[in-house]
Structure 1
Amino acid sequence: MQHNLQRVRWAIAISAAALATSSQFLLGLTPAVAQRNHSVVPAGVGADSGDTSSSGVRGQCIKSTAGLPSLTALLPQTAAATLPLGQTAAAYPTLWVYVPETTAEWANFLLVDAQGAEVYNLDFELTEQSGLIELPLNRMEDMPALEPNQRYEWSFSLVCDPIDSSGNLVTEGELERIELPSEQLEKLATLTPMQQALLYAELGI
């Protein structure tokens, strides 16, 4: 696999606003997990045409995870027969993934529409061996805005073997952008990030 991405190391502390916005997703993690490293997919990194997506569910690049969750998309729990669904009012939401301690050096983010057509495919270098990975769609180069009232499927893969993608460890979820009434949008514009998070929770978003 050839990667033209520039090596970038960027780790930041989780802000109070980020914690508030993602609180419903973090509830399923233990305090020890929630306080681990937090990294952000680097800004200005473009989509890569390399195919590292996989349907595999177990990889060979995870270190001991005794008492800790495996690779996990931080989304509300849904029926076992369906992918977890996250709803958003944002055209460019931020997604979160918990990554257990791993030997993988690269990861892949893939977004497809309801028809299975590829919307975005990004390979990037992991800057931390474990912790919370923040995927801010608004910082991904050439990422198109999510269409209102449309569902998407997304996956995050640890590239365990650059040669054989069948061994990649994958977590998946669904994402739907919904439109809010104008009065709610106007109200959101007047609120602090914490108040916005509380309103989103009331609306079930």
Structure 2
Amino acid sequence: MAHPVQTARPTRRSRRTGLALLLAGLLALTGCAANSGAEQTRTGSQTGYVGTRQLTRVPVGDREKAPVVSGPRLGGSGTISSADYAGTVLVINVWGSWCPPCREEAPGLQKAAEETRGKAQFLGINNRDFGEAAPAAFVRANKISYPSIFDPSGTQLVKFAGNLPPSAIPSTLVIDAQGRIAVRILGPISADTLVDIVDDVAAGR
């Protein structure tokens, strides 16, 4: 007579090991990778956006001159340049209408632009939208009042090589009144945090 086969109950250690393997697999599928800070930066290999924030403040004595970016004005005529705003704090946001975190942060950027009016000028760089219809609709839907440079091929974005990875979208630079890069933000940013940053940079910090 054959005896029934008994299976061993999984131990607490084996359950923990299985759970760890499952989580590792999920992280690999979602493209998460740990960075040097406490947060994680998720860059979708197909969509090319950053899902969480990495913020770097540059001490005043270590700041480098920001390059001048210019190009066609999205939804308008003529060209626009960051040099048009020399002498004021400039917030440059890189975005695309195809980018989910860009859609999430857009209302906060507009709110921050309104709350810091007189202290800072906001300027967008629209990237990887090959046609103006989608980004123009994005601007209308989010009631964005500040201008954007239409830069579908990234010719202006590459000027920030060393400061902004080309695939880091959305990303934001805060440039001080002396034209130097003061803060770098990879990933979406909230209105309150951005207002605090602008206040600090405008105060010379």
Indicate the structure with greater strand content: 1
TM-score normalised by L of structure 1: 0.28
Indicate the structure with greater helix content: 2
> Which structure has the larger Rg?
2
